[in-house]
Amino acid sequence: MGKWDDITADGLMGAVYAAKGKYDPELSRNVIEAFHERMEREGDGFYLSKDVEALCVLMKHVFAQILEGRTADQAFGLKPIKGNTNAPAQWIVIWPPLPLSSLASAGAARGLQR
């Protein structure tokens, strides 16, 4: 039994989309490991064919990144891309912290009307 046997084709597809959407080297490595495990076990009655769509989604993204000049490690999400502000969600700052209606009324009070 392999480490990633329990992940379904839909779960693997979800992991691929999540890995494409943000820099998370641990998730990226897990996705790579899951595909590798499936490929290694292909002859043991475990068939990669149900995961081909997810693999194609991943590789389309990787190939596009490489053609844009990224390294393979960057394309697979294992290394950060310099200048990329694609931080994990917990670090995203929402600005302004006040509701826009508060800003509009404050601006109007200071004569900043359109």
Averaged pLDDT for residues 35-49: 78
- Please write the tens of the pLDDT for every residue from 81-104: 887 655 444 333 334 344 444 434
- Please write the tens of the pLDDT for every residue from 45-83: 666 778 889 999 999 999 999 999 999 999 999 999 887
Distances (CA, A) of 97 to 22, 57, 112: 23, 36, 20
Alpha helices in 1-114 (DSSP H): 9-21, 25-40, 52-67, 72-75, 100-109
Averaged pLDDT for residues 7-12: 89
pLDDT at 7 over 90: no
Domain locations in the chain? 9-84
Which pLDDT does position 100 carry in this prediction? 43
12, 38 Cβ separation under 8 angstroms: no
Averaged pLDDT for residues 23-35: 93
What predicted TM-score, i.e. pTM, was given to this entire model? 0.68
Look up residue 19 and give its two tokens.
Answer: 């890995």
Percent of the chain with pLDDT over 90: 44
